[in-house]
Structure 1
Amino acid sequence: MLRRSIYKTPAQLRAMVEPGLITAAALDAVRALVAPGVTTGALDAAASEAIVSRGARSNFQLVRGYRHTICASVNEQVVHGIPGDRMLEPGDIVSIDCGAEYKGWNGDSAFTVVVPDPSRPELVAQRERLSEVTRGSLWAGIAALASASHLGQVGAAIQDYIEANAPEGGYGILRDYVGHGIGRKMHESPSIFNYRTPEPGAEVRPGLAVAIEPMVVAGDQATFTEDDDWTVSTLDGSSGSHWEHSVAVHDQGVWVLTAPDGGAAELARFGVTPQPIA
């Protein structure tokens, strides 16, 4: 049986630009609503409207057994949280993951935000630092992808960034959940680890499209799946953060498919200039 190559043609990469932008628009709609008293279900509805209004559909709803547009993970929940009646509270750290399918191609992205709480500045500061370090590690990984020969260098760059910027005591990096290839399906080969591995990983060359997604916690990396069979939470109750972007490697460089500017603003500090897919 023939296996589909993990590398895509330039035309296929171009076809992935629009679903990436639709995914970004859905996350923007969610971000604008995050506030105390807003339910995670309302965030889900906003993402759904943004995706459907542009002629796309939620690829999360294509996952067997899952009927929502986003995953909304709060506080000790790291990933795969199910949106519903839960109201956001001041000080909550919230990770939103979302994806869109458009004309048979997929986008996948995630961000973390801390709900303001003037009464608990220390908690907010701790959670904002966790989010910022996770976000920074994502961009460090994307920057590494621009010059890497193999995907293992991406995971090493993510871990290095986290270790260099975490507070004393360090952060935990989830081992059981990793990034992935993306294209005709939301989850494809190869895996992209968020830490150093002994194996070099898949070759980085034009045609590669991947979703890089560090998942970082303030305490120990051990997690469990809650009774809903989806939500992944920390065993020690520590806060989690999740950031993700879909990225294409092509003849001229890299392009972040789920960022309207291709990642230019964030990659500048790493000395990387993304190039549009020709």
Structure 2
Amino acid sequence: MIEILTPAQVDKARATGALVADILQSLRSRSGVGTNLLDLDRWTAEMIREAGAQSCYVDYAPAFGEGPFGHYVCTSVNDAVLHGRPRDQRLADGDLLTLDLAVRLDGVAADSAISFVVGDSRPAGSVEMIETTERALAAGIAAAGPGAKIGDLSHAIGTVLHAAGYPINMQFGGHGIGTTMHQDPHVSNDGRPGRGYRLRPGLLLALEPWIMVDTDELVTDADGWTLRSATGCLTAHSEHTIAITEDGAEILTLPSGRA
């Protein structure tokens, strides 16, 4: 299903996006050496409840996962890049942590992810990886607007990732979003311009470039959810939810400044 939101729903999406961004920034500020991933999950649950919002993850049970996700935030560390299921693990100095969060507020969802390095150490290539995903995300957003096609966004993202020398996995990518978290159209992190669905005002998209240092293959943890690089290499992931407007694209998942 491809859902086109009304102006009133887009306005609600702005509030949801700000909430997602604020929660992620709060979690980032509390993610230090020794922080337990289960505490990050607990804090997320508390902030979602306090805002009167609902988790998109707790009862989420798609075909690629093993049962309901059962947690409030994805916590992916180092070689884990997607769907990282929180577990009893304390962060170490130099860990590359990705936090991915989706919530619904007033019936509209928003989805965002940030990657950052914990502590003072900076493992070789970690900062460059994160910055590459951020630049690819910015390129995808810049390519979005009414009349653009999905392939234009995919091509813009893939051009940045290819130029930086990273392999690109085509199995998981961005997606439509609206009253539910995952919708059509799928937005691959590489593609051909001029192809695919033509964007219209009121369409919401979650764009999410993610990379692994030296492979495009994933393996799944025994938890049935956490996806890791097949070679054990570092990974990074950045994501924003955007709204297609009459004039271009608006980033919805920016912090409100209240966090």
**2:58 match: secondary structure:** helix
**1:112 match: secondary structure:** strand
- Paired position in structure 1 for 2:134: 135
TM-score, L = length of structure 1:
0.85
**1:189 match: secondary structure:** strand
Q: Deviations over 1:4-43 (max 9, x none)?
A: 6532222221221111111111101111111111011111
- 1:73 and 2:76 equivalent? yes
Output the CA distance in 2 between the equivalents of 1:15 and 1:193: 27
Deviation at 1:185, TM superposition (A): 0.5
Q: Greater CA deviation, 250-259 or 219-228?
A: 250-259
Q: What stretches of structure 1 move > 6 A for 4+ residues in a row?
A: none
Contact 1:24 1:109 in 2 (8 A): yes
Output the CA distance in 2 between the equivalents of 1:51 and 1:231: 22
- Paired position in structure 1 for 2:100: 97
- Paired position in structure 2 for 1:56: 53
- Paired position in structure 1 for 2:243: 248
Contact 2:2 2:185 in 1 (8 A): no
Percent identity of paired positions between Structure 1 and Structure 2: 34
Output the CA distance in 1 between the equivalents of 2:193 and 2:150: 12
Amino acid at match of 1:52: R
The 5-angstrom pairing of residues 50-199 of structure 1 reads 50-64=47-61, 65-118=68-121, 121=122, 123=123, 125-146=124-145, 149-164=148-163, 166=164, 170-197=165-192
Deviation at 1:199, TM superposition (A): 7.3
Amino acid at match of 2:93: P
Q: Greater CA deviation, 252-261 or 9-18?
A: 252-261
- Paired position in structure 2 for 1:214: 209
Contact 2:74 2:84 in 1 (8 A): yes
Contiguous gaps of at least 5 residues in structure 1: 262-278
Contiguous gaps of at least 5 residues in structure 2: 62-67
Amino acid at match of 2:13: M
Q: Deviations over 1:152-200 (max 9, x none)?
A: 1101101111223x2xxx2122211111000010001110111014871
**1:210 match: secondary structure:** strand
Q: Greater CA deviation, 109-118 or 91-100?
A: 109-118
Contact 1:7 1:206 in 2 (8 A): yes
Output the CA distance in 2 between the equivalents of 1:224 and 1:85: 20
Amino acid at match of 1:50: M
Contact 2:144 2:248 in 1 (8 A): no
Relative to structure 1, is the Cα distance of residues 221 and 148 closer, same or farther in structure 2, using a 3 angstrom cutoff? farther
Output the CA distance in 1 between the equivalents of 2:229 and 2:4: 35
Across the aligned residues of Structure 1 and Structure 2, the Cα RMSD in angstroms comes to 1.7
- Identify the structure with bigger relative contact order (alpha carbons < 8 Å, sequence gap 6+): 2
Deviation at 1:260, TM superposition (A): 3.7
Contact 1:29 1:50 in 2 (8 A): no
The 5-angstrom pairing of residues 257-268 of structure 1 reads 257-260=252-255
